[in-house]
Amino acid sequence: MRSNQISTSLFSRRLFVIANNIILVVLVLSMLVPLINVLAVSFTTDLESFDRTIKLFPREPSTVGYKILFERVAILRPFLNNTIVTVAGTLLHVFFTSMAGYVLTKQRFIGKALLVLMVTLPMMIPFQMIIIPVFVMMRRLGLMDTLYALILIDIVATFSILLMKNYFEGIPVSLAESALMDGAKEFTIFSRIYLPLALPGIATISIFQFVSRWNQFLPAVLFINSPTKYTLQIALRSLVVNQELTSTTQQVANNTRMAGIVISIIPLIFVYVFAQKYFIKGIMIGAIKE
C-alpha cells in the first residue's frame, strides 16, 4: 500500500513536470517565433518580404532592407535622438532616485512621514491621468518640441526610490558612522560608500529605466513635432504607417520595416547581457530578510 502511494506520487510529480515543460516550450516559441520572423524578413529581398508567410530563414538572403533603411530612410537621426534621450534620462533618473532613497534611510528628520507619503502617492496615479497638466507645464517651460522634455519625463519614479532605499538599508550603518567620524560629508558618504555597494540595485533600475525610455512613445508624440527631433519609436511608426520619413515617394518594403525593428532591439539586448548578473541580484532585493 505504501509503495503504491509513493509510485502514484512520483507519477503525479513527473506528469506535473512534463506539463510545465510543455507549457514553457509553448510560451518560449510564442515569443521567439515572431522575433525570428522579423529577423528573417529583414534579410529578404523586397519581393520576398511581401510573402504572407511566417519565415524562419530567408530564401534569398539580402541586406537591401538595411541599405535602404540607412540610405533612403532617415533612421540615423531618430536613433541618435533616442540614444541621447535614453542615456541622459537614465543617468539622471539613477542619480536622483538614488539620492532620494539614501535620504529615506535616515532614521529621523523633520517631515520624513510627509516626504514618504509624497513619494509613494504617484504610484497610484497613472501617467494617462496627468497628461494634460504635464503638457501645460512643458509648454510654459518652453520645452515643447525639444529633447529636454523627453529627458525630464519620469526623471524620478517611486519604484526606483523604494528599491534603492531597501538596498541602502542593507548596507551596515557603521560604515557611514566611521566616515562621519573621519570628517566625511553626507554627499561623500553617499557617492563613495553607498553607491559603489549598491551596484545591483543601480543596475536593476538602470535596466528598467533604459528599456522604458528607449521604448517610450506617448511622451514623444505629445511633445515632439519636428521630424528632425523624432525618436526611434515615432520614426518606426512613421515608417510603417505613412512613410513620412522617406526621401522619395517609393513604397517601403517589409524588409526595410523589419530592419528598423531589428535595429531598435539590438541596444536593449546588449544592455541586458552586460548588466544581467547585477540585474538578477538586484531584482531579489527585499525577497529575503535576514
Q: For the chain, 290 residues long, give each residue's pLDDT as a single digit of tens.
A: 556 666 676 777 888 888 999 999 999 988 889 889 999 988 888 888 888 888 888 888 888 888 888 877 678 889 999 999 999 999 999 999 999 888 888 767 777 777 777 777 777 787 778 888 888 988 998 889 999 999 998 898 888 888 888 888 888 888 888 888 888 888 888 888 888 888 888 888 888 899 999 998 888 888 998 888 889 888 888 777 655 444 444 577 888 888 888 988 888 888 888 777 666 665 555 444 44
**With contact defined as beta carbons under 8 Å apart, do 212 and 199 qualify?**
no
Torsion 269-274-279-281 (CA) sign: positive
pLDDT in tens, 163-201: 888 888 888 888 888 888 888 888 888 888 888 888 888
pLDDT in tens, 108-142: 777 777 777 777 777 778 777 888 888 898 899 88
**With contact defined as beta carbons under 8 Å apart, do 163 and 201 qualify?**
yes
Intervals of CATH 1.10.3720.10 along the chain: 68-282
If one counts every other C-beta atom within 10 angstroms of the C-beta of residue 119, the result is 20
Best CA proximity match to 62, nearest among 47, 79, 73: 47
Query: How does the average pLDDT of the chain come out, rounded?
Result: 82
Best CA proximity match to 138, nearest among 249, 220, 68, 30: 220
The CATH homologous superfamily to which domain 68-282 belongs is MetI-like (1.10.3720.10)
**With contact defined as beta carbons under 8 Å apart, do 191 and 94 qualify?**
no
